[in-house]
Structure 1
Amino acid sequence: MGKVTDSLLSGAVGKVGNLVLYKQKGKTFIKQKATRSADYKPSKLQLYSNNAFVEVQQFLLPIESILAMGFERFTSGGKRGIHLAMSWALKHAVENEDGIPRLYPKKIKVCDGDLDLSPGMNLVKEEERKYSIYWDVGEVGRARHSDICWVLIYNPLSKKFRLIDEGVYRKRGFLAFTLDPNLDLVGGYVYVAFYRLKKNKARYFSSSVCLGSLE
């Protein structure tokens, strides 16, 4: 790596042949582009890790805005919500099946925090495209009656989702919702959490739980 002193290049950034010019703290630097040997072959572990990364990334990218909200309390040092969600998923939601990474959507976490979930959470289909989520009412651990239920319905196949954040309090014991035709039921999953709104309007979440698929 070298510092550029030539005034003709001091404002340039990008690639020039096998050289890369970039700016850092107002100064322009130049370095040689890293290259791999023509006979380089990634190991089986590297291939597995790369494939697992792609699998998780493709699943989570469509809900990046939701993850930014659900993990906001823990983002720092340039890490965003999607980074934290991917890290969790790679460790807990992907299994090695004969060298092929398999992602289990029910193990995905879409928000995180230290509030308690309510016991007895259950997803019930009431009518066509009409569902209810039920839970036991009680202030167990860090749970409070004033906590708000937070629901994400996400279909990774169509990459569409719906967030339900309508101020239904924990003390109510249930939340009912109807899905419009734009959201496919087949392949859709329901994730639930609770959050508490602090005085500075920051949200303190529980960890999310997947209640299963819609169909």
Structure 2
Amino acid sequence: MAKCTISPYGHPSGKIGNIVYYMLKGQPVCRLVGTPGKPSVKQMANRQAMSVVMQFIKPMTDFINISFKREAEGSIRNPHNLAISYNKKQALTGEYPNIKVDYTKVILSNGSLEMAKNLQLIKGKEGLNLSWDSSIGDNAAPDDSLMVLVSHPTRKKASTYLNAARRTDGSCFLPLDKEWMLQEQMEVYVCFKSANEKLISNSAYVGNLNGEPESKSEIAEKENYKAVKARFDQVAADYAKKSTGYTDGVLGSKAFRQLKKEYEVLKVKLAHLPGKPS
């Protein structure tokens, strides 16, 4: 996408040839429209990265509309654009086709307001208990509001608490009204906003609850390991039996040499194969 400040057509609006002209937040811009060819691996990786981060950010609209509001003002970007941009660059891990979110590196706000120290998270029977150091630093105020976001990645949902507590409270309770919420993966983030919402802190990752489910690739690795291990056990038993129970002539046969080779290959393969039970 490019700004359309000079054009042989003046300041057009709409499609001319394979170029579309339109206004974005008061600025004329244009983009190319065409029939894409076969995507490269790099393009596929970029598409997967965008898809992963968009699915993760989508349930957080209420939170990021406030947390990125001030940063988006005066620019052609909106809070959603900023959240996508930051997290696509900073919070993804892995290689295509196994790109996923690194929850510890997620960014949900940027600002100069002070973040509280000693954040602690405990799961209760009906929700979460969150606590922090309530002392007031140079760049903080007693009436700063705590914003909390609880991401439920396996459900592609999020629980949002925009005014969970005041900074000086030092603790708060976050109710979770669905049974599955307390049993499935949760990733918890917080930030502080000033009472007039003109200042915001950097977001902080509080932690994970209930662990993280295995990815498709991890499940596939475990299944493959099980299959190879089962074959190895069968070959190892046959090799052990034949290596001690037959004459030298049999041990020198082609069939036994093949059995021995398969045994040795499988043994080395298992030693380096991912998916081994911990």
- Is 2:46 aligned against 1:49? yes
Counterpart amino acid of 2:207? G
CA offsets per residue over residues 150-194 of structure 1, 9 Å max, x none? 111221332332222346221121112221017623122221111
Of 156, 170, 174, 1:173 maps to: 170
Of 136, 148, 151, 1:151 maps to: 148
Q: Show the counterpart of 1:81.
A: 79
Q: Show the counterpart of 2:117.
A: 119
CA distance in 1, matches of 2:38, 2:32: 22
Q: Which moved more, 1:50-59 or 1:40-49?
A: 40-49
Counterpart amino acid of 2:34? A
Q: Show the counterpart of 2:35.
A: 35
Give the superposition deviation at 1:96: 3.1
Q: Show the counterpart of 2:125.
A: 128
CA distance in 1, matches of 2:38, 2:89: 25
Larger Rg: 2
Give the superposition deviation at 1:14: 7.3
The DSSP-based 3-state class of the residue aligned with 2:168 is helix
Counterpart amino acid of 2:102? Y
1:53–1:167 Cα change, 3 Å = closer
- Is 2:206 aligned against 1:208? no
1:98–1:19 Cα change, 3 Å = closer
Give the superposition deviation at 1:23: 6.6
Tell me, which stretches of 5 or more residues in structure 1 are unaligned? 4-10, 25-30
Does the Cα contact within 8 Å between 1:111 and 1:208 map onto a contact in 2?
Answer: yes
Greater percentage in helix: 2
Of 49, 55, 68, 1:71 maps to: 68
Does the Cα contact within 8 Å between 2:121 and 2:131 map onto a contact in 1?
Answer: yes
Higher relative contact order (CA 8 A, sep 6+): 1
1:141–1:57 Cα change, 3 Å = same
Does the Cα contact within 8 Å between 1:118 and 1:143 map onto a contact in 2?
Answer: no
The DSSP-based 3-state class of the residue aligned with 1:205 is coil
Aligned residues: 195
Does the Cα contact within 8 Å between 1:115 and 1:143 map onto a contact in 2?
Answer: yes
Off by >4 Å, runs of 4+ in structure 1: 18-24
Q: Which moved more, 1:176-185 or 1:189-198?
A: 176-185
Tell me, which stretches of 5 or more residues in structure 2 are unaligned? 1-6, 24-30, 211-278
The DSSP-based 3-state class of the residue aligned with 1:45 is helix
Q: Show the counterpart of 1:192.
A: 190
State TM-score, norm by structure 1.
0.75
Q: How well do the aligned residues superpose, as a CA RMSD in angstroms?
A: 3.2
Give the superposition deviation at 1:51: 1.1
Greater percentage in strand: 1
State TM-score, norm by structure 2.
0.60
The DSSP-based 3-state class of the residue aligned with 2:165 is coil
* Identical aligned residues as a percent: 24
The DSSP-based 3-state class of the residue aligned with 2:148 is strand
